[in-house]
Chains A and B, each alone.
Chain A
Amino acid sequence: MKYGVNEQGYYGDFGGAYVPEMLYPNVEELRQQYLSIINDADFKAEFDQLLKDYVGRPSPLYYAKRYSEKYGANIFLKREDLNHTGSHKINNAIGQILLAQRLGKKRIIAETGAGQHGVATATVCALKGIECVVYMGEIDMARQAPNVSRMKMLGAKVVPATSGSKTLKDATNEALRDWIANPVDTHYIIGSVVGPYPYPDMVARFQSIISSETKKQLLEHTGKELPEYVMACVGGGSNAMGMFYHFLDDESVKLIAVEAAGKGVDSGHSAATTFLGKEGVLHGSRTILMQTPDGQVVEPYSISAGLDYPGIGPQHAHLYKINRAQYASVTDDEALQAGLLCCQLEGIIPAIESAHALAQLEKMKFKKDDNVVICLSGRGDKDLDTYIKYFNY
């Protein structure tokens, strides 16, 4: 693949495995084994089976008629919100639990922001009867309380991250520390296309099911495999990378990634990484991150906990730098309005994360016959409180 990772774990200038020696053996074990494990026939069979029977894949590619009329193009929604556990996160969690089993790991750790990845991880651990510890920022635990309860019901231990900003980046730090302390028996299920190599590539491969299905489904709908536009929201960037993956080499397809501008890109309360960030190292990879001139990581802000992250995955940083994908940003207000519009036009309550991608529709100039695929990465049940407060329902 032209835009894939090289042998050293880099996408152009970005990637690598910037981990302390204490994590080197863990990461090296994964690096040496991940491809042979996930390309193994038994693994593939079990992965496909679980995605079909347990997750409910393929997720539909839905032709959104009223959206299409409104925006003057053929708008398709890739319905990851219909997956078991309510988002695309389960695709990766299934892949990594099967990998962890084959590596002989007895314990799983994970970080979570909105709680979607935590719930997906707790779910697959319950499925396999494996011990599960999820790190979650103390502030996120308060704003995503139902997901904390879901994880507990599923048998996971949820540990609050109380350092730093008490959000996703700190939960990630705590999970990394746990992994340092438990290097042999524990597998760390990273939830996005971030972290040291091979995680960004591994997670992208597990999520790439989104775009491989989309190609087939689009062919059925339109007689063509390739759309004009593919759009997705980006926090760390896993749903976007899954949505882009099989379109990367098709240069005619315009890839649009939508970041969270929070209260506005220049408001000081934003998570629009490509607009505000610079190159550097975060959570084990060279990428673009929001930081001070002295290289201290800046606390991001977004109303959407799943996009409230100061970096993006290294492959996104590469696609941004070489202009293969366009990076846009959408504010809290625009996202919430787009979420409500989706309810009223299409009868779908989207996650606020996904609503960021939908909000970008307002800013696009389509031609009448353009086919546009948007990844509806998650459902909005977890965000009802936020919607209700915002709109006074």
Chain B
Amino acid sequence: MGHRPWTMDRKTMNRLNHLFDTKKDNLLSIYYTAGYPAIDTTVDIAEALEKAGVDFLEVGFPYSDPVADGPTIQNSSQQALDNGMTLNVLFDQLKDLRKRVTIPILLMGYVNPIVQYGVEAFCKKAAEVGVDGIIVPDLPMYEYETMYAGFFKDNNLSNIFLVTPQTLPERIRKIDELSNSFIYLLSSSSITGGNLDVSDSIQAYYTRVKAMALKNPTIIGFGISDNATFTKACEYANGAIVGSKFVKLLESENYMDQIPDFIKSIRKGS
């Protein structure tokens, strides 16, 4: 907590840029799936996470065939779809959400629902309801650059690229050029919901990326599940994202009561 609500000129900076300008370390983001565990839980969870001191949110919109996700997030996506979640429903919820939540919001989802919505219309609507950035794991750099970058720019939305231990340095440079808020470092080449790889080769990868002195901040995700993994990630990057572990928490009955302690345990250990 602590940073002021976003009041910058929407045309030049979004809430993410403002956040990264004012806070450089130990940034914590939480991923959760919109419409899970129930269709109308999206806003309440966001509000609880902001109150608990999360720096920014990654809200997943569900897809039937999420190839980059493990069973936890896939199940939450299927449940959300069964609950009736669609992009239209989500945009309505986000409109309400923005009345109650001020921290930056990223939407994360797969490319096909966006293509059906219309990429330009999607970007416009997202900006209108107060979204700051988009993560689309299966949108390739070439297609983004040649077809869609203009829509993102026109609506002052950040497109977040992923980098894995196998991503070559020249490609990381290119990603850095195309990014304008932060770069998402994957802790391993894996799907979501695995364990944090702390092998020498992975630490060498973090060190290698850090040494590149990229213009964008970096956030580590995949395998961040507790204080130890969060702290480790923050040694190498500006912060970290917790996903599957939080989605698992949402499976329990009284998850709303547990959110403050969960976030505290990530930040400080339990």
B74, CB-defined interface residue at 8 Å: yes
Are B117 and A295 in contact, CB atoms less than 8 angstroms apart? yes
Contact of B140 among A19, A22, A170, A183 (CB under 8 A): A19
A20, CB-defined interface residue at 8 Å: yes
Nearest-Cβ distance from residue A21 to partner chain B, whole angstroms:
4
Are A180 and B191 in contact, CB atoms less than 8 angstroms apart? yes
Are A18 and B140 in contact, CB atoms less than 8 angstroms apart? yes
Contact of A280 among B71, B115, B142, B163 (CB under 8 A): B115
Report B81-102 residues with CB < 8 Å from chain A CB: 81, 86-88
Nearest-Cβ distance from residue B248 to partner chain A, whole angstroms:
17
Question: Assuming the A-B contacts A183-B189, A281-B138, are A22 and B68 also in contact, with contact meaning beta carbons closer than 8 angstroms in the complex?
Answer: yes
**Which residues of chain B are within 8 angstroms of A293 by Cβ–Cβ distance?**
116
A42, CB-defined interface residue at 8 Å: no
**Which residues of chain B are within 8 angstroms of A194 by Cβ–Cβ distance?**
none
A32, CB-defined interface residue at 8 Å: no
Are A22 and B116 in contact, CB atoms less than 8 angstroms apart? no
Are A20 and B65 in contact, CB atoms less than 8 angstroms apart? no
Question: Assuming the A-B contacts A180-B68, A180-B189, A180-B191, are A21 and B137 also in contact, with contact meaning beta carbons closer than 8 angstroms in the complex?
Answer: yes
- Cα of A77 to Cα of B208 in the assembled complex, Å: 59
Q: What's the tally of chain A residues with a CB closer than 8 Å to chain B?
A: 35
Are A180 and B163 in contact, CB atoms less than 8 angstroms apart? no
Are B116 and A177 in contact, CB atoms less than 8 angstroms apart? no
B166, CB-defined interface residue at 8 Å: yes
A176, CB-defined interface residue at 8 Å: yes
- Cα of A283 to Cα of B81 in the assembled complex, Å: 19
Are A176 and B138 in contact, CB atoms less than 8 angstroms apart? no
Nearest-Cβ distance from residue B34 to partner chain A, whole angstroms:
13
Are B162 and A22 in contact, CB atoms less than 8 angstroms apart? yes
Nearest-Cβ distance from residue A389 to partner chain B, whole angstroms:
31
B207, CB-defined interface residue at 8 Å: no
**Which residues of chain A are within 8 angstroms of B70 by Cβ–Cβ distance?**
177
- B-contact 0/1 string along A266-296, CB 8 Å cutoff: 0000000000001111111000010101111
Are B116 and A278 in contact, CB atoms less than 8 angstroms apart? yes
- A-contact 0/1 string along B159-175, CB 8 Å cutoff: 00111101110010000
Q: What's the tally of chain B residues with a CB closer than 8 Å to chain A?
A: 39
Report A296-329 residues with CB < 8 Å from chain B CB: 296-297
A146, CB-defined interface residue at 8 Å: no
Are B167 and A24 in contact, CB atoms less than 8 angstroms apart? yes
- Cα of A17 to Cα of B229 in the assembled complex, Å: 33
Are B137 and A20 in contact, CB atoms less than 8 angstroms apart? yes
- B-contact 0/1 string along A4-28, CB 8 Å cutoff: 0000100000001111111011000
B190, CB-defined interface residue at 8 Å: yes
Nearest-Cβ distance from residue A110 to partner chain B, whole angstroms:
16
A181, CB-defined interface residue at 8 Å: yes
Are B164 and A17 in contact, CB atoms less than 8 angstroms apart? no
**Which residues of chain B are within 8 angstroms of A281 by Cβ–Cβ distance?**
110-112, 115, 138
Are B191 and A291 in contact, CB atoms less than 8 angstroms apart? no
A169, CB-defined interface residue at 8 Å: yes
B186, CB-defined interface residue at 8 Å: yes
Nearest-Cβ distance from residue A183 to partner chain B, whole angstroms:
5
Name the residue in A8, A282, A291, A294 with the highest tally of chain B Cβ atoms < 10 Å from its Cβ: A294
Are B190 and A22 in contact, CB atoms less than 8 angstroms apart? yes
Are A282 and B112 in contact, CB atoms less than 8 angstroms apart? yes
Nearest-Cβ distance from residue A158 to partner chain B, whole angstroms:
19
Contact of A164 among B65, B113, B117 (CB under 8 A): B65
Nearest-Cβ distance from residue B187 to partner chain A, whole angstroms:
11
A173, CB-defined interface residue at 8 Å: yes
Question: Assuming the A-B contacts A22-B190, A282-B112, are A296 and B164 also in contact, with contact meaning beta carbons closer than 8 angstroms in the complex?
Answer: no
B143, CB-defined interface residue at 8 Å: yes
Are A294 and B87 in contact, CB atoms less than 8 angstroms apart? yes
Question: Assuming the A-B contacts A19-B140, A180-B191, are A295 and B162 also in contact, with contact meaning beta carbons closer than 8 angstroms in the complex?
Answer: no
Are B67 and A20 in contact, CB atoms less than 8 angstroms apart? yes
B64, CB-defined interface residue at 8 Å: yes
Report A22-76 residues with CB < 8 Å from chain B CB: 22, 24-25
**Which residues of chain B are within 8 angstroms of A8 by Cβ–Cβ distance?**
142
Nearest-Cβ distance from residue B117 to partner chain A, whole angstroms:
7
Nearest-Cβ distance from residue A9 to partner chain B, whole angstroms:
9
Nearest-Cβ distance from residue A360 to partner chain B, whole angstroms:
30
Nearest-Cβ distance from residue A279 to partner chain B, whole angstroms:
8
Are B113 and A296 in contact, CB atoms less than 8 angstroms apart? yes
**Which residues of chain B are within 8 angstroms of A22 by Cβ–Cβ distance?**
68, 162, 164, 166, 186, 189-191
Question: Assuming the A-B contacts A8-B142, A177-B67, A296-B64, are A21 and B115 also in contact, with contact meaning beta carbons closer than 8 angstroms in the complex?
Answer: no
B63, CB-defined interface residue at 8 Å: yes
B114, CB-defined interface residue at 8 Å: yes
**Which residues of chain A are within 8 angstroms of B86 by Cβ–Cβ distance?**
294
Are B116 and A291 in contact, CB atoms less than 8 angstroms apart? yes
- Cα of A25 to Cα of B166 in the assembled complex, Å: 7
List 9 A–B pairs whose Cβ atoms lie within 8 Å, in order of A's numbering: A22-B191, A24-B171, A25-B167, A163-B74, A177-B191, A280-B112, A284-B138, A294-B116, A296-B64
Residues of B within 8 A of A (CB): 63-65, 67-68, 70-71, 74, 78, 81, 86-88, 110-117, 137-140, 142-143, 161-164, 166-168, 171, 186, 189-191
Residues of A within 8 A of B (CB): 8, 16-22, 24-25, 163-164, 169-170, 173, 176-177, 180-181, 183-184, 278-284, 289, 291, 293-297
Given contacts A24-B171, A282-B65, A283-B67, 16 further A-B contacts (CB under 8 A): A16-B143, A20-B138, A21-B162, A24-B140, A173-B67, A183-B166, A281-B115, A281-B138, A282-B112, A289-B112, A291-B112, A294-B88, A295-B114, A295-B117, A296-B63, A296-B64
Q: Report the 3 A-B pairs with minimum CB-CB distance, sorted nearest first.
A: A295-B116, A295-B113, A21-B162
